Amino acid sequence: MAESSGRTLGGPAGWISILIPAGLFLWFAQFIPAVAAGEVLLWRFNWVPSLGVSVGMLLDGLSLTFALLITGIGALVTLYSASYLGGHTHYTRFVCYLLAFMAGMLGLVLSDNLLALFVFWEITTISSYLLIGFNADEEKSRRNALQALLVTGTGGLAFLAGIVLIGTAAGTFELSEIEGSLVDHALYLPIFWLVILGAFTKSAQVPFHFWLPNAMAAPTPVSAYLHSATMVKGGVYLLARMNPTLGGSDIWFWTLVIFGGVTAVFASLLAIRQTDIKQVLAYTTLMALGTLVMFIGVGTEAAILGAMTFLLVHSLYKAALFLMIGVVDHGTGTREATVLRGLWRKMPVTMVAAMLAAASMAGLPPLFGFIGKEFLYKASLEGPALFWVTGCAFAASALMFACAGVVAWRPFTGKLAKTPVEAHEGPVAMLAGPLLLAALGLGLGLAPNYAEPLVGPATTAVLGAPYAVDLYLFKEVNVAFILSLLTFAAGLALYAWHVRLRTALAHFKPRFDPGWDGLMGAVAAGSKGLTRTIQTGQLRRYIFVTFASLAVVVGYAIWRGGLALEIPEMQELRAKHWSVLIFIMAGALLTAFTNSRMTAVAALGVVGVGVALIFIMFGAPDVAITQLLVEVLQVVLVAVAMLKLPQLNTERVNRLRAWDLALSIAIGAMITVVLLAVMQAPLDLRLTEFFEATSAPIAFGRNIVNVILVDFRALDTFGEIAVVVIAALGAFALLRGTKGERS
Amino acid sequence: MTTTSLIVRAATRILVGLLLVFSFYMLLRGHNEPGGGFIGGLVGATGFILYAIAHGCRAAREALRVEPQSIAMVGLGIALLAGVMAYLFGDAPFTGQWLFLWPDPAAGDKGVPLSNILIFDVGVYLVVLGSVLTLVLTLEEEV
């Protein structure tokens, strides 16, 4: 995968992909002082004014934190990819996908307009699909990519419906203009569930969690970037952003706290179960997302502060660990926890990065992870639902400690084990990212006040009210600190027993993934069955169903309308009218009862000619001419087509005639009633008068029909002739297509 | 689908020419009398179909010289251009633009009217002619 390409850092595509996020990172960094001072920056221009869609950029603490994470980690990941994938045939394509994703993610966190936010939300979904399925040769990649697309895409549709309802309820789609809370609004419940569905699918909460570990089929940089640091946090971002608007209700609290807690503990247990280190990390990501959702649900000031700190902590150490896994995979040829041992001698730099990041993940002092965990504990001990939240946080943290041991301690310590590839250190470009991120975790742990300019404004933005932040490593021995010590003890015990725990848990097989396959299979089978039922391929059945539906719908409308019909005056009909009517009826009867197709077509032509005669008698020569010509052409066309058909099977046809008769009578009766009803309504002649008065003076023509066609309604006519051309070309393609197949 | 009937073949020789001339006549008179591009196109198509019945589809295609589907596409293009022409005069698309040649106000004669409306109708004529022939000729060759 990472064969040397002979080009430095993937060539121009690589340089561009590194410089764009790096430049954006610096650009966003200049706003830190302003945002830290409590400013909210807003730029806006109208995009689709008629739909109320504007593209606005809202830069407050929350979006700035996310923007810096996206561009900062983005720059490191692209640098890493240039080395990791630089020699890949489709490296340029990969870079395009990654930059498209970055643009979508930035738009998502910066959009002020909810509709624009949704568009960017979908861009991240689609580019994530492309990235997960990057190794499109493998069936597993394609399947997992599609799964991620369908799960997050379905949630996205729910979210869109939620956005529309928010727009209705709040009267605006601009986040910065939504005032107050919607909790007491009549539409609150539907909005809540739709938004939750969007957020939970995107951020892989139980029971939608299964797509995220599967998404690890993507190349490692993608896992590091999308599925730990950025995209999966999109749902968390949404919940945090909506907290001032939708938060604070009982249902918000319990839904988020219960689902977040279950996700955190359940995912940690599944993480211990894995032997592939990348899968372990994938499940610990779920744990982090669950924890974030749970604490946003708790919603107290301390909880939001803890969540925002933990968000930063997690992004730093998890991206570092994922990138580290890529280096190990590249250097040894395996990711199996059972195989990897004693790499410290061969990969010392990787080890430093891994140990620092894992220490942050385990929550050891003096790393930033310790502060994150400490503030979460403090919030859970003060907040509501104390036992549940603290219990979940404790269990997840202890399991996280054990996972950190599995991921970073065990592979590097002990005696060197044999690996598929002779273990060797990775290139500089691949080590820079994990090392820098891990070092940041240590630096912010030692000097947490440097994180305050981001965490503080972010907390303020989520709370919707100003909040002064004070991050510190250690102040006093309190309950939270003791809980931390207990976590370490429990974590150590779990690590010591983790092999046995893994074996025990291996018996437990979650049914989510097979369930998904079953669901997809059912959908495919259902649509196949439906298609087979509806699309029989028999023209007469299509026509029968079409006309029967028409008869039922119009018949129902007539019945509901309660029409009182009058019998029209028949005295005005002269002998010539009667003769034409009899002529038409004879044609129709002959069409219905003849046993020869040719006779039927000719008789149908007779009906058409009779109708043309009626047009002539009532003064519409244009229509009459057209009717005659079309009638002639139709007879020619159908007659030509019928030369191909076999002899009419009289016996079979006669069996079906009863149905046809019933349907014909129904349609005939319906049309008669409709015509009678139309004749009773007063005739509105205003249009006719307008055209009569204006046709000659304005359009210089005396034939009103034609003047309407080519002048007054020329655009309509243009559309119609376009349809004629398309129909002809379609028929041409169909006929010629079958011909080529046969010869 | 060719016919060996001598009568049809002999009649076709005269009828096809008459039908085509008549179709132009229908097209041109359309603005003031019954007729127009749609009817004209149908009459023209009937002429070629008659020719195809008498002498075969290959002969009809040779007489056309151009593929019927090309005729239809060109017609659509002409109609579009006629509509867009109104832009040149600062009007909304498909607005009629008129030019009267050699007017004689003294005699109360407005002159010979020319307009993009006629060009549009020519487009309609070609679309109908081309589309109908595409359908009929392809279908007949199929059989």
Three-state SS sequence of A564-590: CCCCCCCCCCCHHHHHHHHHHHHHHHH
Q: Which of A407, A249, A392 is nearest to A321 (CA)?
A: A407
The pLDDT of residue A8 = 61
CA count, 13 A, side-chain hemisphere, A688: 3
Q: How large a percentage of chain A has pLDDT more than 70? A: 97
- Please check whether residue A715 touches B, CB under 8 A: yes
pLDDT at A178: 85
CA–CA dist B31, B120 (Å, integer): 12
Q: Compute CA distances B61 → A326, B64, B72, whole Å.
A: 67, 5, 14
pLDDT at A291: 94
Mean pLDDT of chain A: 88
Residues of chain B with pLDDT under 50: none
In this predicted structure, the answer to whether residue A509 has a pLDDT above a threshold of 80 is no
Q: What is the pLDDT of residue A2?
A: 42
Specify the 3-state DSSP secondary structure of B33.
coil
Burial bucket for residue A400 (CB in 10 Å: 0-12, 13-18, 19+): buried
Please indicate whether, in this complex, the C-beta atoms of A728 and B135 are within 8 angstroms of each other. Answer: yes
pLDDT surpasses 50 at A404: yes
* Domains defined along chain A, listed by start: 10-247 (no CATH), 258-529 (no CATH), 539-688 (1.20.120)
From the list A160, A165, A159, A125, the residue with the least C-alpha distance to A145 is: A125
- The yes-or-no verdict on residue A704 having pLDDT over 60 is yes
Q: What is the pLDDT of residues A257-296, one digit of tens each?
A: 999 999 999 999 889 888 899 999 999 999 999 999 999 9
Q: How far apart are CA A504 and CA B52, in angstroms?
A: 83
List CB contacts (< 8 A) between B132 and chain A: 633, 728
Chain B residues close to A714, C-beta within 8 Å: 83, 94, 117, 120
Structure tokens at A491: 């974590």
Residue A674 backbone zone (phi > 0: left; psi -120 to 50: alpha; other: beta): alpha
Q: How much of chain A exceeds pLDDT 90, in percent?
A: 43
Q: Which residues pair with A57 in a beta bridge?
A: A43, A111
Residue A581 neighbours by CB under 8 Å, 6+ apart = A610
Nearest to A711 by CA among A689, A693, A694: A694
At A706 the pLDDT is 83
Q: How high is the pLDDT of residue A105?
A: 94
A703 → closest Cβ in B33, B46, B73: B33
Cross-chain residue pair B94–A718, CB shorter than 8 Å:
yes
Q: Which residues of A697-722 are buried (b: 16+ CB within 10 A; e: fewer)?
A: eebbbebbbbbbbbbbebeebbeebe
Number of Cβ within a 10 Å radius of residue A199: 26
- Residue-wise burial string across A491-512, b where 16 or more C-beta atoms lie within 10 A, e elsewhere: beebbeebeebbeebeeeeeeb
Do A276 and A257 contact (CB within 8 A), yes or no? no
Determine the 3-state secondary structure of A305 from DSSP.
Answer: helix
Q: In this predicted structure, what is the pLDDT of residue B3?
A: 62
**What value does the mean pLDDT take over residues A701-705?**
82
CA angle A300, A304, A310 (to 5 degrees): 140
List, for residues A535-589, the tens digit of each pLDDT value: 888 888 889 889 999 999 988 988 888 777 777 777 778 888 899 999 999 999 9
Are residues A301 and A467 in contact, defined by beta-carbon separation less than 8 angstroms? yes
Burial class (CB in 10 A: 0-12, 13-18, 19+), B25: middle
Mean pLDDT of A78-101: 89
pLDDT at residue A442, rounded to an integer: 92
Radius of gyration of chain A (CA): 36
Neighbours of A639 (CB within 10 A): 16
Among A632, A721, A735, select the one facing B139 at the smallest CB separation.
A735
CA distance A507 to A383: 37
The CA-to-CA distance between both ends of chain B, in Å, stands at: 8
What is the predicted pLDDT for the residue at A679?
80
| pLDDT for B143 | 64
Q: Per-residue pLDDT tens for B16-53? A: 999 999 999 999 888 888 888 999 999 999 999 999 98
The pLDDT of residue A5: 43
Q: What radius of gyration do chain B's Cα atoms show?
A: 18
Indicate if the pLDDT at residue A7 is higher than 70: no
- Could you give the CA distance from residue A45 to residue A101 in angstroms, rounded to a whole number? 23
Most distant CA pair in chain B: distance in Å? Answer: 62
- Nearest-5° Cα angle at A236, A233 to A240: 135
Checking if the pLDDT of A55 tops 90, the result is no
- The tens digit of pLDDT for each residue in A472-494 reads 888 878 888 899 999 999 999 99
Name the residue in chain B with its Cα closest to that of A637.
Answer: B136
CB A43 within 8 A of CB A86: no
Q: Please tell me which residue of chain A has the smallest CA distance to B120.
A: A710
Answer with the residue of higher pLDDT: A723 or A179.
A723
**Residue B99 and residue B117: Cα distance in Å, rounded?**
11
Q: Which of B69, B94, B121 sits opposite A732 (nearest CB)?
A: B69
- Considering only CB atoms, which chain B residues are within 8 Å of A709? 36, 38, 124
**pLDDT for res A159:** 95
Backbone angles phi, psi at A658, to 5 degrees: -60, -45
CA distance B20 to chain A (A): 14
Q: Which amino acid is at A99?
A: L
Instruction: Say what the pLDDT of residue A3 is.
Output: 42
Q: How far is CA A188 from the centre of its chain?
A: 23
- Predicted confidence at residue A10, as pLDDT, reads 67
Q: Which residues of B touch A621 (CB under 8 A)?
A: 34
Per the CB < 8 Å rule, is B36 touching A729?
no
**pLDDT for position A740:** 53
Distances (CA, A) of B27 to A438, A674, A708, B100, B126: 81, 36, 15, 19, 11
Asked if B42 lies within 8 A of A630 by C-beta distance, the reply is yes
Q: What is the C-alpha to C-alpha distance for residues A223 and A141, in angstroms, rounded to an integer? A: 13
- Contact assignment for A643 to B1 by CB distance below 8 Å: yes
- Over residues A367-395, the mean pLDDT reads 91
Spatial contact of A282 and A212, defined as CB atoms under 8 Å apart: yes
d(CA A477, CA A208): 39
- Using 50, 70 and 90 to split pLDDT, how confident is the model at A4? very low
Distance CA A443, CA A451 (A): 10
Q: What are the tokens at A644?
A: 């191909």
Distance of CA A35 to the CA centre of its chain: 31
Which ipTM was obtained for this model? 0.91
Instruction: State the first-to-last Cα distance of chain A, in angstroms, to the nearest integer.
Output: 47
Which residues, in sequence order, are CB contacts of A597 under 8 Å at separation 6+? A642, A645, A648
- Range A192-205 average pLDDT: 93
Mean of pLDDT values over A668-680: 86
* Largest Cα–Cα separation, chain A: 113
Report which residue type is found at A67: A
Q: Which of A725, A734, A742, A743 is the mutation pick for testing B, counting most B CBs within 10 A? A: A725
What pLDDT, on a 0 to 100 scale, did the predictor assign at position A100? 94
Residues 6+ away with beta carbon under 8 Å from A333: A419, A420, A421
DSSP string, A49-116: GGGTEEEEEEESHHHHHHHHHHHHHHHHHHHHHHHHTTTSTTHHHHHHHHHHHHHHHHHHHHBSBHHH
Q: Please, what sign has the CA dihedral across residues A553, A556, A561, A564? A: positive
